[in-house]
Amino acid sequence: MPKKSELLPGTLDMLILKTLTRAPMHGYGIAQSIKRISDDVLTVEEGSLYPALQRLLLQGWVKAEWKKTETNRRARYYTLTAEGSKQLGEELSQFEVMIAAIGRVLQDA
């Protein structure tokens, strides 16, 4: 039996971008936020999170800055850029279209 993913593949970037609309956040905090808000359904593993953040940085959808946390630890804070905001909008609307389409297929005719 294939192990099921902790995420719906293809949605991670969108989730991260969306989370950053709430506030600039460091990676660990993003993962925690997604886990908490989803009531522990969505778990972002570290091996998925950090590569994803690198991707988002490369594409200019987020920018990063090293800072100290409230508890005095070093962490890299990510902020959504204007391009990232635009990208998020596109991903959101595309996601809705997809979900609606899947809903039609899953519905009994």
Partner DNA sequence: ACTCTATCCATAGATTATCTATATATACGG
Partner DNA sequence: CCGTATATATAGATAATCTATGGATAGAGT
The site for DNA (CB under 7 A) is made up of 2-3, 5-7, 9-13, 26-29, 43-48, 50-55, 69, 71-77
Residues 33/22, Cβ–Cβ less than 8 Å = yes
Alpha helices in 25-81 (DSSP H): 27-37, 46-58
What distance in Å separates the CA atoms of residue 85 and residue 18, rounded to the nearest whole number? 9
DSSP label at residue 40: T
Binding partner at 80 among DNA, its own copies, none, C-beta below 5 to 8 Å by kind: none
- Looking at the Cβ atoms of 5 and 94, the one nearer to DNA is 5
CB of 75 to DNA, least distance (A): 3
The site for its own copies (CB under 8 A) is made up of 4-5, 7-11, 14-15, 18-19, 22, 34, 37-39, 41-42, 92, 94-95, 97-102, 104-106, 109
What distance in Å separates the CA atoms of residue 105 and residue 7, rounded to the nearest whole number? 21
Q: Under DSSP, is residue 3 helix (H, G, I), strand (E, B) or coil?
A: coil
- Looking at the Cβ atoms of 73 and 97, the one nearer to its own copies is 97
